[in-house]
Structure 1
Amino acid sequence: MSEASGPTALVLGVGGQDGVYLARHLLTLGYRVVGTVREDALDGDRAAYLSGVELRELDVRDRAGFAAILDTVRPDEVYNLAGFTSVGASWGQAELVAETNGMAVLRILEELVAHQDRHGSAPRYFQPSSSEMFGISDQQPQTEGTPHHPRSPYAVTKSFAHHLTVNYRESYGLFTCTGTLYNHESPLRPQQFVTRKITQAVAEIALGRREQVSLGNLDVRRDWGSAADYARSMHLMLQQDEPADFIVATGVSRALSDVLALAFLAVGIDDPTPYVVQDPALMRPAEVVDLAGDPTKAREQLGWEPAYDFETVVDHMVRVDMRRLETGVEESEDYLYP
């Protein structure tokens, strides 16, 4: 335990969507929160969300830098929310994805072992896995035991990191947990993600600033949830008596066309068809058609339940994008929750 009034959490990649929601949740629980960001993000717009967080500069690939922060901060818990997060973009940056999502995790785990050797114990560690690891799966919904069949460079690296985290737990006695996170959204999603692309385009169409949006495969299905809900599950995992692996999902998959329909409905448009152009260039080389997770273990062992439904998440994202366009304020604490 740290000398602060509460536990100390080190959140790698605190400036990302998940990092923001987790940091704010931990602060409400009385944690001291130390968060890492890349040098080019130290003074970014996300600072609006990080009041109360002690920021440190770190590239997650920098093993020596991580080791120094680990020894200085001496956290009780480490959450690795840094990394490359875009499935589509991973095809063009496969080597960077492998370094950031794969080898960086290996270095983190090696340093946790070294820290344990020096001090007799290591902080508890959370590794975010991805539903994309399952790829083509005959099992619907997927469970913690479903085999992996990754279908993108991103998914391959997440599978590698997942198995590393399990292996280091079993081999070195580290308290490491994986949370296989299905798609989770919020107004903090970057614009290159299809959900945010849709909600921003819908807001612009509603305000007369554009006429159409170009999209790829509208039939692809995902299990979509709320980033705020999924951040809560990460913390719960590290509070258990024993480390384990969990699926974090809603249990229901929906087509991308459903996201589209709900987004347009949020601005009073019942039929999105006239506003949508399907672009073959936006199709992925190897698409994962349908993913849905079984959250039974998380519900029964963690007591975790989603607080926000799919409809609320999409409606909230559209309304925030409308406010951004109308006010010119890109980031605000008021945008975080419905």
Structure 2
Amino acid sequence: MRDAPAKTALVTGVRGQDGSYLAELLLAHGYRVVGTSRRGGGDGRDWRIAHLLSRLDVVPLDLGDPAAVQEVVARVAPDEVYHLAAASRVDTSWERPMEALSANAGSTVNLMEAVRRVAPAARMVVASSCEIFGRPERWPQAEDTPVRPASPYGVSKAAAFWLASNYRESHALHVASAILYNHESPRRGPAFVTRKISRAAARIAAGVDRTLTLGNLEGRRDWGFAGDYAEAMWRMLQQERPRDLVIGTGVSHSVREYCEHAFALVGLDYREHVVADASLFRPVDTTSLVADARLARELLGWRPRVAFPALVEMMVTADLERVRSGADV
């Protein structure tokens, strides 16, 4: 009896944090994995997937080019499509709102159109964001929470969310949105607050730096581990019926708590090193976003494995090693 042929997965944004964890998971499940990146590979930005490059294909793709997107989808012939590529910074979306809208909503349309035309049997998940809920009137938030984005980034993700819903209902596309709450890891980019903190704790402990300047220390987030959320997205595409699902831990912590935990791990008191600067506050800060992921747990059998203290320790430990080795990425 022959083994079933390996599934093929197309992963946009494969060189990002989420893409790297998802590629690992898919390869472990025996998939053929093709990842896309705006710049392709080999330009020094492959550090998250360097250990995977011998087992996956990375192709350059401008998701803003509909013809190029369709050509890649036709050539790859995916069974599953994971759309992770995005303009992912809430703060910079205030400065470049059209860039966020094009990168997040425009790319989603181009990819769904390509799937609809040349790979209509493929299953697709779109990485959405809790930022679509903006400043909700109730918490925790579930799938039926009103979509009321409070930033250009949130608007762009909300547009992609509704577009996915439209293609599912109008074109019978097997597409679902994973409404992801904040998810972090040692592979997080240094511009994000969690990596700013873990990296600063390591550098200050090593005597490289002395202070860290942040914005609102009272801002609260539902932080989970990116690897757990990659697994949730994979599980979503194993379902026969596409469903939009909230993915999060259900527990929120403040930026101040993150600082306290991170600096304590290196034997320091964050209050002696962290400075809050009001000029860095967001114009509108979504301070009450926390997930009600009961439906995901019920339908997918999924639950987060890495708790907040372990996540902080994981990130600080990785940054300590980077500082010691000189590989400070």
TM-score in same-fold range (> 0.5): yes
Structure 2: any 5+ residue segments left out of the alignment?
A: none
Report the RMSD for the aligned CA atoms in angstroms. Answer: 1.5
- Whether the 8 Å CA contact 1:182–1:249 is kept in 2: the answer is yes
Query: Map of 1:162-173 to 2, 5 A cutoff?
Result: 162-173=161-172
Deviation at residue 267 of structure 1 after TM alignment: 0.8
Query: Map of 1:184-263 to 2, 5 A cutoff?
Result: 184-263=183-262
Deviation at residue 330 of structure 1 after TM alignment: 4.6
User: Within the alignment, does 1:24 sit opposite 2:27 as a pair?
Assistant: no
- Whether the 8 Å CA contact 1:7–1:76 is kept in 2: the answer is yes
Distance, in Å, in 2 between the alignment partners of 1:45 and 1:21 is 13
Question: 2:103 maps to what in 1?
Answer: 100
Distance, in Å, in 1 between the alignment partners of 2:18 and 2:4 is 24
Deviation at residue 187 of structure 1 after TM alignment: 0.8
Cα distance change, pair 42–90 in 1 and its aligned pair in 2 (3 A): farther
- Whether the 8 Å CA contact 1:97–1:153 is kept in 2: the answer is yes
Distance, in Å, in 2 between the alignment partners of 1:158 and 1:232 is 21
Residue of structure 1 aligned with 2:311, choices 310, 313, 317: 313
Deviation at residue 254 of structure 1 after TM alignment: 1.0
Question: 1:34 maps to what in 2?
Answer: 34
Distance, in Å, in 2 between the alignment partners of 1:159 and 1:115 is 26
Deviations 1:295-334 (A, max 9, x none): 1011010000111111111111011111011012357xxx
Deviation at residue 243 of structure 1 after TM alignment: 0.6
User: Within the alignment, does 1:56 sit opposite 2:59 as a pair?
Assistant: yes
Query: Map of 1:252-331 to 2, 5 A cutoff?
Result: 252-269=251-268, 271-330=269-328
The count of corresponding residues between Structure 1 and Structure 2 is 324
Deviation at residue 5 of structure 1 after TM alignment: 3.6
Give the aligned residue type for 1:253: S
Moved more, 33-42 or 309-318: 33-42
Distance, in Å, in 2 between the alignment partners of 1:10 and 1:181 is 19
Question: 2:87 maps to what in 1?
Answer: 84
Distance, in Å, in 2 between the alignment partners of 1:45 and 1:111 is 26
Distance, in Å, in 2 between the alignment partners of 1:224 and 1:180 is 13
Moved more, 65-74 or 45-54: 45-54
- Whether the 8 Å CA contact 1:5–1:30 is kept in 2: the answer is no
Deviation at residue 128 of structure 1 after TM alignment: 0.8
The ranges of structure 1 where at least 4 consecutive aligned residues each deviate by more than 6 angstroms after the TM superposition are: none
- Whether the 8 Å CA contact 2:128–2:178 is kept in 1: the answer is yes
Question: 1:112 maps to what in 2?
Answer: 115
User: Within the alignment, does 1:66 sit opposite 2:69 as a pair?
Assistant: yes
Distance, in Å, in 2 between the alignment partners of 1:45 and 1:27 is 17
Moved more, 241-250 or 32-41: 32-41
